[in-house]
Each structure stands twice: as structure tokens, then as C-alpha cells.
Amino acid sequence: MRVWGYSPSFTAQLRVRSTEPFLGGRRFWFTCPRCGRRCRVVYLPPASTRVGCRLCLSLRYQSQSRSSLAQYWRTITQLRRRLGMRDAYTPCHPFSSPFRPRGMHYRRYARLVHKLEVKESIYASLVQWQAYRRRPGRPAKRRTDAR
């Protein structure tokens, strides 16, 4: 079981089921006490005494947070294109907003620029956070294994 942070003497009853994979051996699964789903990892939220699966606690796998990064990137690219900027690679400098495209209403333009700035700063901090998480010398995951 994966335990986050400090949890004083915690016990949970988990039902374990096993399946026999095609290639032999045996695969063990937990049964999520919250939804009854079969899962390989259960989580204990910091301020809770009830474990649950990833879906119940709406946690995201790392790959999914990476795909949210991709979603931000897509939005940024779209906004930049609508603002007539050719690519999504040059950073939007706070003091030099892109020119207002011909025929675009000023309020719409201001709204787009604002949205772009917000998305870009979120994107930048997500990138920094992921770099921080993967910095060398850091244990990959705080985990205690207890069957």
C-alpha cells in the first residue's frame, strides 16, 4: 500500500483478489473499499482514514498531468493563432502584447490577450513543477510497502 506522508498506525481492511494472467503467474488486485473497483494501487489521502482508488480520490497519473500540459499547449497555440501570432514558441512578453488583428473588436482582443497570458503562466509553472518533481537525487516516490 502506498502511504503519503505521515500516518500514525493505520490499518485498513482490503479485500484482495487475484487473477491468473494468460502468461502464467498470478496477479493480485485490491478491491477499492469506496467503489468496489479492482485496482492495483490504493491511496490514502492526507487527511483521511479511508483509502480509495485513483478514481475515487480523483488522482491523476503522471501521464495524465502531462496530457493536461499538452492541453494547455494546444490552447496557447490556438489563442496565438487567433491573435495573429505565427508560432507558439516565442514567449509573450508582458509589455509587448501581440498587435490587435485587423477587424477584431478591442474587447475581444483584450480578453484573448488576457486569457493567453493566464494560460502561458500556468503552463510555465506546470513545466517548472514537473522539472522540480523529476530533479535528480530525489527518491522517485515516498512509499512504504505493506501487504
Which residues contribute to the site for Zn ion (CB under 5 A)?
Answer: 32, 34-35, 37, 52-53, 56
Cβ proximity to Zn ion, 35 vs 146, nearer residue: 35
Cβ proximity to Zn ion, 34 vs 100, nearer residue: 34
Supply 24's cell numbers: 502464467
The one-letter amino acid at 103: G
Least distance to Zn ion from the beta carbon of 55, Å? 5
Least distance to Zn ion from the beta carbon of 1, Å? 14
- Of the candidates 74, 75, 69, 62, the one whose C-alpha atom is nearest the C-alpha of residue 140 is 62
Least distance to Zn ion from the beta carbon of 56, Å? 3
What is the distance between the alpha carbons of residues 69 and 54, in angstroms, rounded to a whole number?
20
Cβ proximity to Zn ion, 35 vs 110, nearer residue: 35
The alpha helices in the chain, defined as continuous H runs, are: 62-82, 106-133
Least distance to Zn ion from the beta carbon of 42, Å? 8
Residue 128's φ and ψ, nearest 5 degrees, are -65, -40
Cβ proximity to Zn ion, 8 vs 46, nearer residue: 46
Residue 63 three-state SS: helix
- Of the candidates 60, 10, 12, 55, the one whose C-alpha atom is nearest the C-alpha of residue 36 is 55
